[in-house]
Chains A and B, each alone.
Chain A
Amino acid sequence: QQPVQSPQAVILREGEDAVINCSSSKALYSVHWYRQKHGEAPVFLMILLKGGEQKGHEKISASFNEKKQQSSLYLTASQLSYSGTYFCGTDPFGNEKLTFGTGTRLTIIP
């Protein structure tokens, strides 16, 4: 079953913060986050592993609630370059197969 992301789309002014949520119906081993710009391939941002380990970038962070089977991506002081569609990718079994979420389109305006 495909993870559900919310919101579906959001428009922010440069400098504002954003939160994108990913909810799964299955228990998760790991959650990945990717950003895809129009006409380009997805680019890896962050991974969260069962047990709380987190890896990623400075102004982009994430949380992983294993009990609720949810993850949230936090974008701080958004920049124009943050625009794109964000996808979570979930791996329930640790077998490296990702199921991608429904996607969230983020638009940053000056």
Chain B
Amino acid sequence: SAVISQKPSRDICQRGTSLTIQCQVDSQVTMMFWYRQQPGQSLTLIATANQGSEATYESGFVIDKFPISRPNLTFSTLTVSNLSPEDSSIYLCSARDRGRVGYTFGSGTRLTVV
């Protein structure tokens, strides 16, 4: 299955700043997904990123706060902007190989906003 390299693995950021998270897939994938997971909670889909088009955001998530880049079929970035303590969470990217049935996840980015 696809291998996804996600970085950084963790970061501590000041209020008002931004953090950009990168995900690199070792094969070409059509769609990539970005999730947020509070510790001990389920995963919540933030947006879907297709190459060559704007990302599609889920209810409660907006492009100004979570801009996404998808420059090619193996790479995507999620930026969390204007950070507040409420943004402290784990962020994960995900993708599915062509021909595969399940999704692979990146190792996650643990963000702490102080």
Interface residues of A (CB under 8 A from B): 2, 32, 34, 40-47, 55, 87, 89, 96-103
B31 at the binding interface (Cβ < 8 Å): yes
The tally of residues in B whose CB lies under 8 Å from a CB in A reads 19
A101 interface neighbour in B31, B42, B45, Cβ under 8 Å: B42
Beta-carbon contact of B101 and A47 below 8 Å? yes
Beta-carbon contact of A103 and B103 below 8 Å? no
Beta-carbon contact of A41 and B107 below 8 Å? yes
Q: Which 3 pairs between the two chains have the least Cβ-Cβ distance?
A: A44-B102, A41-B105, A100-B43
Beta-carbon contact of A44 and B45 below 8 Å? no
A-B residue pairs in contact (CB < 8 Å), sample of 12 = A32-B103, A34-B103, A41-B92, A41-B105, A42-B105, A43-B105, A44-B101, A44-B103, A97-B45, A99-B45, A100-B44, A103-B41
CA distance A36 to B34 in the complex (A): 17
The residue of chain B having its C-beta at the shortest distance from the C-beta of A41 within the complex is: B105
The residue of chain B having its C-beta at the shortest distance from the C-beta of A87 within the complex is: B42
Beta-carbon contact of A97 and B42 below 8 Å? no
Q: How far, in Å, is B94 (CB) from chain A's closest CB?
A: 8
CA distance A55 to B105 in the complex (A): 19
Q: How far, in Å, is A94 (CB) from chain B's closest CB?
A: 13
CA distance A10 to B42 in the complex (A): 17
Beta-carbon contact of B107 and A40 below 8 Å? yes
Residue interface bits B89-103, CB-to-A below 8 A is 1, else 0: 000100010000111
Query: Are A98 and B103 CB-contacts (below 8 A) given A2-B42, A42-B43?
Result: yes
B104 at the binding interface (Cβ < 8 Å): yes
